[in-house]
Amino acid sequence: MEILEQYVYKIKECDIILNNVQKIGRIEAIALHLAIICNNVIFNITSIIFNTSGSASWLNILYISFLAIIFMLLVLKLLKPFPSLNLLDISNYLGGKFLKRIMAGLYILMFVALTSIYLRYYVNGLHLIYFPRYSLLAIALLTFVPVIIASRTGLKAIYGTNLFVIPITILSSILLFSISNKNFSWQNFCPIFGYGAKELFINQSMNIFSFNIIGYMFFLPPFLKKENEFKKISIITLIIAGLYYLLTVIALTMTFAYSFQTDETFSLYLIARLATLGRFFERIDAIFFFVWILAFLSFLSFNIYIISILIKQSCNLADSKELIYSICSIIIGICFTFKNMAAASSFTVSFYKPFTVILIFAISFLVVLLANLKKKRSS
């Protein structure tokens, strides 16, 4: 009887979500989430960690990676009674449509903020480095042409692109670090604890916001071909993300002294500018920048698709494709509210960082916990 009730409950709650939704496997799901991580590395998040933790950035990465994995294991345990349901369905089960729409609104805000911030970095970067004759708006509009096509095509086109782009992005980063070793200095790891153990393990624990992919994972289950693979996908993704972050901050630390405040945009580009291949191959940063452009377009397509799906689910709309044009317009508008990249970086630290930590690691966890307790009481 209990199994039948759960089955009926799942059908009612998931009917809107699961109809006409493209399913993905383990590799595709991992690639989608790593697209977020790659862009975190390309843009400012690793630089923020480097600037706040100094020579102990690598220790901070190990620490917050451990916290993220422990947190996710706890969440996965709480999610066991809700297979194939995402956070909005769980919110609806706990507090009805009101709570569901609040959670959808908060996550839409988080995704739109991150997308707008990265778009500002991207547009400014292209303008300053390669296309100074083009206006920022023209670059932004041209960027959205392939993004709109991919987003309207659906998840299949996005993860198909990611399967090609993301491995190349990660491998290119590893190649970049390997050819930049002549600029490395082991002395930059001193002092070991950077600005102090208290600063490293307590004050800078907020750097766990760099694992914002956990927020995306809350909406993954309905899209999986095999719901029992959610745990494997989550943990494998977090481990790869932690290792990629670790490799990046080690490269940053060994290249720049901790007292050197890196530009909080394109931290990898700073390393790429210094890299050479023998006497004849210089300014190879252009090659890496091209790869990073592809990674950003994948990230942008995925984020716009997720935002449209959240709006569709929270408002019970029949189709989300027509929303994509409005979402792109809003993101471009918000992007240019930042006067420059410094303003975008300041917004990241002052708003996005604490907002992400509170939403993912406090509010969302509380919703899942209370829903789990409600389920136990009703069974």
Q: What are phi and psi of 347, to 5 degrees?
A: -65, -40
Question: 219 is written with which tokens?
Answer: 């909406």
- Cα separation, 10 vs 4, in Å, equals 10
Please confirm whether the linkage preceding 191 is cis (ω < 30° from 0).
yes
Q: Using CB atoms within 10 A of its CB, is residue 154 exposed (0-12), middle (13-18) or buried (19+)?
A: middle
Return the exposure string of 14-47: e unless at least 16 CB atoms fall within 10 Å of the residue's CB, then b: bebbeeeeeebebebbbbbbbbbbbbbbbbbbbb
End-to-end CA distance of the chain: 11
Contact 79, 93 (CB under 8 A): no
User: pLDDT value at position 52?
Assistant: 80
Output the pLDDT for position 152. 84
The pLDDT score that the predictor gives to residue 282 is: 62
C-alpha distances in Å from residue 33, one per residue of 17, 236, 288, 376: 20, 11, 21, 31
* Domains, the chain: 26-378 (1.20.1740.10)
Q: pTM of the entire structure? A: 0.89
Q: Which residue has the tokens 């980063």?
A: 173
> How does pLDDT run along the chain (379 residues), one tens digit per residue?
344 344 334 434 444 344 456 788 899 999 999 999 999 988 878 878 877 887 888 999 999 999 999 999 999 999 999 988 999 999 999 999 999 999 999 999 999 999 999 999 999 988 888 888 999 999 999 999 999 888 888 777 788 888 888 999 898 888 888 877 776 778 878 778 877 888 888 888 999 999 999 999 999 999 898 888 999 999 999 999 999 999 988 888 888 765 555 554 566 777 777 766 656 566 667 778 888 889 999 999 999 999 999 999 888 887 778 889 999 999 999 999 999 888 998 899 999 999 999 999 999 999 999 999 999 898 7
* Confidence at residue 204, expressed as pLDDT on a 0 to 100 scale: 86
Which pLDDT value is given to residue 278? 59
